Structure 1
Amino acid sequence: MEEITVLDEAQCWNLLSESVMGRLALSVDGEPEIFPINAYAHDGKILFRTGEGTKLSEIAVNGRVAFETDGFTSKIGWSVVAKGRARILTSTHEIMDADQLPLKPWVPTLKMNYVEIDVEEISGRRFKFGAEPDRYPV
């Protein structure tokens, strides 16, 4: 196994679909912000729930976002980054469909809003951990 392996789209989606937590990156008042979220990925989309606040208001203004998730063991790690356009679900039909998905808040707070990211670009890498090579070989 190479130290760094670029993952193909199918591998990225497989890892993304098995992941339940990641980080949402967006721009708040022109400044980058990152928020931890639990999410559900399927059919080329990532869905998450949120309450009223910064994430929701910024997505309403600028829907361009990135989502990153990763995982690791003691020997390997991986990271997947998905970029796309987020939109707040508003139709009754979409919300009812989203309510059927296995996406529940992790903390005991109301998260009444569903946000869907339509993924336009996805990339990922797998890393093999090991000791740093000798910087000054003899």
Structure 2
Amino acid sequence: MAYVENDAITVMSDEEAWDLLGREPIGRLATTIGDDIEMFPVNYVLDGQSVVFRTAQGSKLFELTVNSRVAFEVDSYGDQGGWSIVVHGDAEVLEDPDEIAAVEQLPLRPWVPTIKTTYVRIRPNYLSGRRFHFGDEPEAWHL
């Protein structure tokens, strides 16, 4: 059940967050190695309650093999408000032939003309979602 932090921010239920995640095509993957944090835009699909994307050889794939802990963020907004959802979890490169065959049936195609033969699944540990209602800034409290 969603609750209101204040008049401008509403915390989503997990069910609402998963529903909204399934509606957007692009998210941002955050990876870390040591003190370095990287962000990568990726197109993705949901497979149940996991996030699946394709990638090629490169820094994104390398970073996932060094540290599988990731965050994945998806946002949307309009004139009146917006929302933001962050999935925190572990990314794994899919290697099982049966699992790869199953995800190849998902509607996941590269957006740019590159060869991306590696599938990655983010298995969530938890997610957080918030809705934002836009409006004028309230008057500041004076002490």
Give a deviation string over 1:47-77, Cα, whole Å, max 9, x none: 0000000111111111000000010011010
1:16 aligns with 2:5: no
Question: How large is the RMSD of aligned CA atoms in angstroms?
Answer: 1.5
Equivalent-residue separation in structure 1 for 2:141 and 2:20 (angstroms): 37
Structure 2 residue ranges without an equivalent (≥5)? none
Equivalent-residue separation in structure 2 for 1:51 and 1:39 (angstroms): 14
Where does 1:1-138 land on structure 2 (aligned, <5 Å)? Answer: 2-135=7-140
SS, match of residue 18 in structure 1: coil
C-alpha change, 1:95 and 1:42, in structure 2 (3 Å) is closer
Percent of aligned pairs sharing the same letter: 44
Equivalent-residue separation in structure 2 for 1:73 and 1:120 (angstroms): 29
Q: In the alignment, is the contact (CA less than 8 A) between 2:17 and 2:85 conserved in 1?
A: yes
C-alpha change, 1:136 and 1:53, in structure 2 (3 Å) is same
Range 12-21 or range 23-32, more displaced = 23-32
